[in-house]
A and B are shown apart, each in its own frame.
Chain A
Amino acid sequence: MSPWPVAAVPLVLAVLTAPPLGRHLDALISDRPQPAWDRWVGPLEAALMRWVGDAGRPADSAMGYLLPLLVSNGLFGLVALVLLLLQPPWLNPLGFAGLRPDLALHTTVSFLTNTDQQHLVPETSLGNLAQLGVIQFLMFVSAATGLAVGFAVIRGFCGRPLGNLHRDLVRSLTRLLIPGALLVALALLLCGVPMTLAPPQVITTLEGARQTLPVGPIALFEAIKQLGENGGGFVAANGAHPYENPTLLSNLISTWAMLAIPVATIDAFGRCLGNRRQSNLLLVLVLALLLLGGAVAMVAEGAGNPALSTWLDGPNLEGKELRFGAPLTGLWAAVTTGTMTGAVNGSLDAAMPATLVVALFNLFLQVVVGGQGTGVAYLLVFVLLAVFLTGLMVGRTPELLGRKVEKPQVVWASLVLLIHPLFVLIPAALTLAGGTALAATGNPGPHGISEVVYEYASAAANNGSGLAGLGNGSPWWNLSTTVSLLGGRYLPIAALLALADGMRRKPALAPGPGTLRTDTTLFTLVTAMVLLILGALTFFPVLALGPIAEGLATVS
């Protein structure tokens, strides 16, 4: 069967669910009354806000939004860190011990930043308390944090106050993430994903050996993992494991779940702005990039390794889960890196170089649909830079959405541009300078470069996937990626909030025929070029020395 129609299903589904979800998100962003929701979850939200002690007034500055974000995230992290270090005996049937400090720190930060990079094997190191109380809890709140930032940035660009962080956190949990995850969990449950607190099952295999199979509350875990762009597996094999992703149907549901919210957030931006043409064009842009990357990966995986073609015909089956086949694994790779989820349903380390180019490209750009909430924010930064660079060419001070782009905006936007190279290239160079010993890779060639760069790109982009050939459990890896995780998460958030707050304070200018419109096909193409030149060109050298060199070697 051709993989193309199957691959199209989740993408089409994500486009179809975007308008209703976008409408719902816009109601949250614009704080419109939602009678049913207000009745059912309103009291709970009010209770939570009272518990936090926040009257829910909108922040009057970027700091007013950022500070509670940092404090709340700091508290979440602290609780999680203690639980991981101690791993108390409750709900810990296999009696796993506390984690090594560097590993506990890395795991905490990784899940706190919505990254879910895992330098451990969860099924052999985490009990159910850690899985539920730390991992799953952080999956919910980190996704909510991302959404809150997205909401605030959208509000700022639409000329409104940034809003109240606690209110946004609570409401994105009660009105989107928790009910959404429950629905997806139900669907996955029907596909056969376990949802239990039962003790591990001990079975006798066909060969007569005894095997312990830890089960757990996987369905809900899986649901928020995909829906919240988290990506961390309940088991190390992640979406390639039958507990997490048993059937083709669960695979499609998971792929859709990764795309659903980021796609809908862009739609919500257009609704909030009152200009859906703008958001539709941006959606077309990012979906085109996603489709292009997905197609490249599907073709590359489907065609197989040219270096082996003398002996072996057919797709690249190394590291694939045969239930899904090579092309669908390629598609998943594009989607998981594009949406900053980081879940995998096959081995990325064994993927074709072209697939790696796609994956790294997505991680470098961070807007190929983009992460939970942050995707649309990064996209707006690129739109702003495109306006600034080319807007001058119409003979006016550049304007975005009726607001002048001046020095402060350029400072914050270009800071966002600077953070990624800073937290990807510099640590990667340091690690590679230490040679194969420090990198702990068995690949001295271009693939080693890919592995190292990928690890930091994944950390800084808050994606979480990785090329498994790396022995990344060492203190060096844990601590250095922790720096990239934190820097790649909170510095851009601070800059984005400052940018959005600055934009909303500017007087709105009336558009006229002399104003550069951003909701045109031409300008969308300009944005695409700026994305490629400013976002990706910086990383062209490492792409060239890593996967491109590897790919050229397999061809020649």
Chain B
Amino acid sequence: MTSFPRVPFLRMPRGPRHERRHVERPRHQGLWRRALIDAVRKLDPRLTVTNPVMFVTWCGTALCLLLTLSPDLFDGPDAGQSRGFNGLISLTLLATLLFANVAEALAEGRGKAQADALRRTQARTEARRLADDGSIERVDSSALRRGDRVQVEAGDVIPADGEVIDGVASVDESAITGESAPVLKEAGSDVAGSVTGGTRILSDQLTLRITADPGKGFIDRMIALVEGAERTKTPNEIALTVLLAVLTQVFLIAVATLRPVAGFLGQAPSVVTLIALLVALIPTTIGGLLSAIGIAGMDRVAQFNVIATSGRAVEACGDVNVLVLDKTGTITLGNRLAEEFLPVGDHSVMDLAMVALAASCFDQTPEGRSIVRLAERLGATLAFDPSTARGIDFSARTRMSGSDTPEGVEYRKGAVEAIKGFVRSRGGQVPGALDDTFEQVSSLGGTPLAVCQGNAVLGVIHLKDIIKPGIRERFEQLRRMGIRTVMLTGDNPITAGVIAREAGVDDFIAEATPEDKISVIQREQALGKLVAMTGDGSNDAPALAQANVGVAMNSGTQAAKEAANMVDLDSDPTKLIDIVTIGKQLLITRGALTTFSIANDVAKYFAILPALFVEAGLGPLNVMQLASPRSAVLSAMVFNALIIPALVPLALRGVQFRPLSAEQLLQRNLLIYGVGGLVAPFVGIKLIDVVVNTLHLV
């Protein structure tokens, strides 16, 4: 027996995030009652016809019921068949159908509950639509179309997904993200420019351009998916359905030809026993649970607060080989903090701290504020009156920021190269020690910021990146699953390399531009890899579209959300790892139950065939020593029916996924579901046979 390495499980859906969510908890009461009612309703043959396995079972059940009412329907070996026995077999068949229906209805019911909870967030509201001439008309939110402009004010519910074109306001997005702090929304900003229907504006006023027709918004898409109403089968599910249909046909041939073949010996079995054999052999277990598995998979994604545009996208997650992740926010905490001042040349730490403080007093970013805090802790004071000085903002072009005093003193901090350039342009000299200090900071995984006053370089601020706790373990798990991680960062290669090593990513791209993102994805895809990535900015949209799985942050731009296959409502980039797990879990569950179902056939043959043909001398094949031919057939049928509800919890919950290599996973799951599938029915049928005979059912 092989032992499997003990590894911590990946975070499963329904983790601690559960407490954060504000979407109303789906109401699960009455779920079972509704599922039972639905199960009976689903007996309608028009609904079963798409599922070949269950349709054959349905036909068999109907024929059996007919033979219970009129046992002499067929002449020959059926004449004189016991009505009671036929009735019992019919009952087991009916139970098989109902159990399969309950499984599906239960999964759908959970989805519906989820959908109802979502739907409550998007009650219809009145919207103020701006006409072309600027006048305002009041319309129902359902009348809004893509491209319409609407005005919303404090207290309003935002009527549909849209883009801010004017105004600044704070919006409460807790209805969908669970984050209770209001979010600032303003026009022209990447992240803050998009709003979601159903959220509430708390202050001020916004003008929006609607980006989704009614019923086409994210919430609507999610509702349709979890509800299963528009559920289309995923490619893998279709392929499996084909195989199950062919297997059903194969066994139909095998069983149908059995009557004339055995008739040659004068041993033609009755129609009812043949139907029993057929239903036992066709893969009813997986046939009955297949759609429930799919629906439950979507439901798990939704519970994780992720909107998938299709089931296909969730399945594709399982196949991903490469994750492309942004460093900031995913691998490290978003905020870098000033750790240390490293002066160069003759300057003292205090000199540097003073200048750093002067260069940062207008900087409101977390980095800037941390520099101010560190400088003040060292006792530095501001050498000028900030009210008279002018702040210089950071821009991607200059890559530095600072302040100018009325006396004409320029304080700057920024990327080392940028400061070098600045100093030279002011006629200064760059001290040789700067590069050493730069490398020293980089090699510690920090980001070096050079500081200068006019044409004099004073030193370097060491900004420290904080790697998220636990991220290294998660990458380790991913590696075991065969998934490579690539980190993208704007940092210099030395810093990037240190962080990559500390976080345990497999590869990194330093000084990356948005274009690099797409080229990394294309390069990996050319090697035959499937790539997943997260993104939020609108310049991520092409990369999100190029990736096989693109997860957009809900806080991101409309463009990014449109391009992605999934939107994470919590805007948590690490969730990609969890989604991959869900995708894999979905496929494993499907495979495990298929294997189990097909492996069951061996035992069922050994239960039913000897029973059918005792007189042909097959008695010795009755290895289970079942009491009588009738109890053998009945026991096999009862087992066949009961195994479905027994596996429903597994189908809905999904097989537990462990981050192991393919070989280990196969070995483990084969042992459980393959060998288990071979052995379980032998034990189960024997036990049922004992019960059947104790109760004198036949």
Question: A: which residues have CB within 8 A of B?
Answer: 385, 388-397, 402, 405-407, 409-411, 414-415, 417-418, 421-422, 425-426, 428-430, 432-433, 435, 439, 444-446, 448-449, 452-453, 507-510, 512-517, 520, 522-523, 526, 529, 533-534, 537-542, 544-545, 548-549, 552-553, 556
Docked-complex contact B665 and A394, CB < 8 angstroms: yes
* Docked CA distance A448–B663 (Å): 47
Q: Given A425-B257, A549-B618 in contact, is the A533-B483 Cβ separation under 8 Å?
A: no
Residues of B contacting A537 in the complex (Cβ-Cβ under 8 angstroms): 601-602, 605
Contact of A425 among B254, B481, B483 (CB under 8 A): B254
Q: B49 contacts the other chain (Cβ, under 8 Å)?
A: no
Chain B residues within an 8 Å CB radius of A540: 605, 609
- Per the bound structure, the CA–CA distance linking A422 and B261 in Å amounts to 14
Given contacts A425-B257, A538-B254, contact A433 B263 (CB under 8 A): yes
A390 touches B261 (CB 8 A): no
CB < 8 Å neighbour of B481 from A439, A514, A517, A523: A514
| Total CB contacts across the A-B interface at under 8 A | 218
Q: How far is the CB of B99 from chain A (nearest CB, A)?
A: 23
Chain A CB within 8 A of B262 CB? yes
Task: Return chain B residues, CB-CB under 8 Å to A425.
Answer: 253-254, 257, 261
Q: Within 8 Å CB of B232, what residues of A?
A: none
Q: Are A391 and B254 in contact (CB under 8 A)?
A: no
In the complex, the answer to whether B250 meets A394 with C-beta atoms within 8 Å is: no
**In the complex the two chains form, is A393's CB within 8 Å of B592's CB?**
yes
B585 touches A395 (CB 8 A): yes
7 contacts between A and B (CB under 8 A): A389-B243, A390-B666, A393-B673, A426-B257, A429-B256, A529-B599, A552-B617
B321 & A392 in contact (Cβ 8 Å cutoff): no
Give the distance to chain A from B48, nearest Cβ to Cβ, in Å.
Answer: 21
A residues in contact with B673, CB < 8 Å: 393
Nearest A residue to B244 via CB reads: A414
Is B129 close to A, CB under 8 A?
A: no
> How long is the Cα–Cα vector from A388 to B243 in the complex, in angstroms?
9
Complex Cα gap A512–B531 (Å): 13
Chain A residue numbers with a CB within 8 Å of B255 are 541
With a CB–CB cut-off of 8 A, which chain B residues contact A449?
261, 264-265
Whole-angstrom distance between the alpha carbons of A370 and B674 in the complex? 27
Q: Looking at B264, B585, B592, B670, which has the most chain A CB atoms within 10 Å of its CB?
A: B264
The 0/1 profile, CB within 8 Å of A marked 1, for residues 242-270 of chain B is: 11001101110111111111111101000
Decide if B250 touches A512 in the complex (CB within 8 Å): no
Evaluate whether A433 and B662 lie within 8 angstroms (CB atoms) in the complex, with A395-B657, A510-B527, A514-B321 already known.
no
Chain B facing A: main interface SS: helix
Q: Residue-by-residue, is B659-673 near A (CB-CB < 8 Å gives 1, otherwise 0)? A: 001110111011001
Is there contact, CB below 8 Å, between A512 and B482? yes
With A449-B261, A549-B616 as known contacts, state yes or no: A512 contacts B253, CB within 8 Å: no
How extensive is the interface on chain B, given as a class?
35 or more
Contacts of A452 in B (CB 8 A): 264
Give A544 to B619 CA distance when docked, in angstroms: 11
Judge whether B601 and A533 touch: CB under 8 Å: yes
Beyond A393-B665, A393-B669, whether A414 also contacts B247 by CB under 8 A is yes
Nearest opposing residue in chain A for B592, CB measure: A393
CA distance A409 to B240 in the complex (A): 11
**B:599-632 near A, CB below 8 Å:** 599, 601-602, 605, 609, 613, 616-621
A397 B246 Cβ-Cβ under 8 A: no
The verdict on A541 contacting B609 (CB below 8 Å), with A446-B616, A548-B618 known, is: yes
Complex contact A396–B587 (CB within 8 A): yes
Across the interface, which residues of A come within 8 angstroms of B595, CB to CB? 389-390, 393
Q: Name which of A395, A426, A544 has the most chain B CB atoms within 10 A of its CB.
A: A395
Whole-angstrom distance from the CB of A306 to the nearest CB of chain B? 14
The 3 closest A-B pairs by CB, nearest first: A514-B482, A392-B591, A395-B584
* B590 interface hit (Cβ, 8 Å): yes
Asked whether any CB of chain A lies closer than 8 Å to the CB of B188, the reply is no
Known: A425-B253, A446-B265. A541 touches B587 (CB 8 A): no
* B662–A514 CB distance below 8 A: yes
Whether B588 lies near A392 (C-beta < 8 A) is: yes
Of A422, A444, A544, the most chain B CB neighbours within 10 A belong to A544
- Do A417 and B246 touch across chains, with their CB atoms under 8 A apart? yes
Q: Are A394 and B588 in contact (CB under 8 A)?
A: yes
A418 and B246 in contact, given A397-B587, A549-B613 (Cβ under 8 angstroms): yes
Q: How far is the CB of A493 from chain B (nearest CB, A)?
A: 18
B273 within 8 A of A: no
Known: A510-B321, A544-B609. 15 other contacts (CB 8 A): A390-B674, A392-B587, A395-B583, A397-B235, A397-B587, A407-B238, A428-B261, A433-B263, A439-B264, A509-B529, A510-B528, A513-B479, A522-B667, A540-B609, A545-B261
